[in-house]
Structure 1
Amino acid sequence: MFVVSSQTPVETPGPTIPSGYEIVIEPFVEHDGAVGSVDFTGQTTYRLYLEMQNESDFLSCISGEADNPMMILSSSTPSWYNDALLGEEVGAWVNPTVLPFFPELNYDSWLTIGGATANDEVEVSVAAGEINLLNEFGSGENVVIDDVTGTALFTLFPCNPADLAACDFSHAAFAGEDLRVLIGQITTAGELSGQMQVQVFVEGDASQEFRGIIPFTPYAPELLVDGCTDSVACNYDSDATEDDGSCVYCGAECAGGSEYYMTVEVHAEDIIEGQTTYRFYQNMVNTDDFLSSIYGNEDAPFAFETTTGFYNDQFGGTVASNINA
């Protein structure tokens, strides 16, 4: 279970989130005056997007609960603009026919899954717990959803799961050609930060879904630090936030400053098609150093692993001295 603080957003996505799935915030309009009956001077309307990896990725839900709180925070007071009389808390519920008469509603704050107005034809529903997300968000003040039941904005999968080829991936809850889904609009004079739990069907396949926490500002894709994120690797980088495939699991890099260390060297390649033969060496300091044994026990386990298994001939030997040259 990935439990986070109920007051401070996490800095990086939860462990269940695949690489490349990120929440980004983009300025939509920077205001310098009044629109309709509202003076927006000094405020910016931002749009929040979940960026995904495949055109057919489907955003099913955004949510928050005790173990994975939703947080939407702004540094200003009030936190954001929300029209108490005519506004909607869900973008997909906005009636586009009223916008020409009340143009300030174009910059109202709302959450959504794909739809900016009802014209986008995304049916977004809400399942509310002890803390009602829509009431909290509609107040125009910071939101923390951390009750046991939680609240979710969700939309049902619009295709036949048995016939994904017939799906219309232009539906606004699919990533589509731009590989992103709109999840919110917020007009504020402050700086935004927070996190949301998302549920995504990878390539539209519900059996391949994942869910977990993704933060937004101050975490941002441009702040990712590439490096090795596997703590068992020799070159593990505790500052890295994005694994770049550079992890090393054998070789002199593991020496860690010791003068006695093991190295692994390539001995031959493709003698058996597609395979590499490696040799292991214990490096010493003195010419008269003598290697007496290699062993393993409860206190110092002997561990040898590969990602694919390894070749062992039926006529071979477990130790080299048993092989008849």
Structure 2
Amino acid sequence: MNSLRSLFLVAACCCSALIASNLASAQYTLTVESSPAITAGLTTYRFYVDMQDATDRMSAVFGNDQASLLVNTPGGAFNSPFNSSWNASGINPAFLPVFPDLADDTYATIGLTGPASTSGIAGAADPSIVEDATQPITPYFLTPGATNLESTTLTGASWYVLNTAANGLPDANLQVLVMQVTTAGDISGQINYQVFPLGVGADQAQVSTEFSGAGTFGGDTGGGDIEGCTDDMACNFNADATLDDGSCLMLDECGVCGGNGIPAGDCDCDGNIL
């Protein structure tokens, strides 16, 4: 019991640390791919984090009161009765020939489409999860027709693998699968994830991005301010700036942006004394 409690505390602290870090990187985008599901009328969406190097490691997907984890599927998520787990570990390959729609199941993952033990990846490990008991996210991956996953509390939630898990490494396309959702309608929301660049945990990078349907999304730091001059009367006005950094400059009488004007004793802008 003590070891389980310690694991929960470590994971919860890790989840909180994700927000504290300012190392989120624009290079780790989210790609959502869609394809027709085996079940007629449904579409399967696969969520991949795009890595930059073969040694980058996917660490966690998370949500809390500072970075909401949201998945909206108004048409309902398909959850197979033959996968009793919130992750892909319950997708038994032996069942697929008999129950092919098991492959359509909605699940959370870190780099796996089935149990780690049958993945063929040496050193693979099934992901673990921590979640707020007052706002659990596991029901979304277990309830047929689920329409909403939400993690917005202080405690929040996270599914993760340790830095030693080989399935945290990217595939041949430099991607790591983090979620599969099958639904009859639209899909949208926000996802937050942590990456260890080059496998170095101390250099953790966190990204928060919104998504809608299929495509490549995000890669920013979650909507931080852009510093610059916000005075539209200034000669160095930055229309993209959202936070004034005190750098605004004005044209002097010689038309120089931020210039000192005509020096004492000079009579024109070329420095000539008339």
Task: Return the TM-score normalized by structure 1.
Answer: 0.59
How far apart, in 1, do the equivalents of 2:93 and 2:226 lie? 49
Residue in 2 that maps onto 1:95: 92
Q: Which residue of 1 aligns with 2:59?
A: 60
TM-superposed deviation, 1:153: 0.6
Aligned-pair distance for 1:193?
Answer: 1.2
- Residue of structure 1 in register with 2:240 after alignment: 238
**Using a 3 Å threshold, how does the CA distance of structure 1 residues 15 and 289 change in structure 2: closer, same or farther?**
farther
Structure 1 unaligned residues grouped into runs of 5+: 1-13, 160-170, 241-249, 264-279, 292-325
2:24 paired with 1:17: yes
- Per-residue deviation at 1:86? 3.6
Larger Rg: 1
Classify the secondary structure of the residue corresponding to 2:176.
strand
Amino acid at match of 1:23: L
Q: Distance in 1 between matches of 2:240 and 2:216?
A: 18
Q: Which residue of 2 aligns with 1:136?
A: 140
Q: 1:26 to 1:218 in 2, by over 3 A?
A: closer
What secondary structure is seen at the aligned counterpart in 2 of 1:45?
A: strand
Unaligned 5+ segments in structure 2 are: 1-20, 230-235
- Encode CA deviations 1:227-280: one digit per residue, 9 max, x unaligned: xx953264634299xxxxxxxxx9xxx8778765535xxxxxxxxxxxxxxxx9
Where is the helix percentage greater, Structure 1 or Structure 2?
Answer: 2
Residue pairs, 1:198-213, within 5 angstroms = 198-213=193-208
Q: Residue type matched to 2:227 in 1?
A: S
Out of 153, 162, 165, which is 2:159 matched to?
Answer: 153
Q: 1:199·1:212 contact (CA, 8 Å) conserved in 2?
A: yes
Is 1:77 paired with 2:84? Answer: no
Cα RMSD of the aligned pairs, angstroms, is: 3.5
Aligned to 1:180: 175
Point out which structure has higher relative CO (alpha carbons under 8 A, 6+ apart): 2
Provide the C-alpha distance between the structure 1 equivalents of 2:219 and 2:80, rounded to a whole number of angstroms. Answer: 36
Letter in 1 for 2:256: M
Q: CA deviation at 1:224?
A: 9.1
The count of aligned residue pairs is 224
Q: Which moved more, 1:113-122 or 1:100-109?
A: 113-122
Residue in structure 2 matching 1:114, options 96, 111, 116: 111
State the shift of 1:180 in Å: 1.1
Please give the per-residue CA displacement for 1:263-306, whole angstroms capped at 9, x wherever unaligned. 5xxxxxxxxxxxxxxxx95467xx94589xxxxxxxxxxxxxxx
CA gap of 1:82–1:176, structure 2 versus 1, over 3 A, is closer
1:215 CA displacement: 2.4
Given the superposition, is the C-alpha separation of residues 238 and 219 from structure 1 closer, same or farther in structure 2, using an over 3 Å criterion? farther
| 1:41 shift after superposition | 2.6
Instruction: Encode CA deviations 1:175-217: one digit per residue, 9 max, x unaligned.
Output: 2442210011111122211122212111000111123423222
SS of equivalent to 1:24: strand
Which 4+ residue blocks in structure 1 deviate beyond 3 angstroms?
A: 84-88, 218-225, 233-237, 254-263, 280-284, 287-291
Q: CA deviation at 1:70?
A: 0.7
Q: Secondary structure at the match of 2:47?
A: strand
TM-score w.r.t. structure 2 length?
Answer: 0.69
% identical aligned pairs: 22
Distance in 2 (CA, whole Å) between partners of 1:25 and 1:208 is 25
Residues 1:127 and 2:133 are matched in the alignment: no
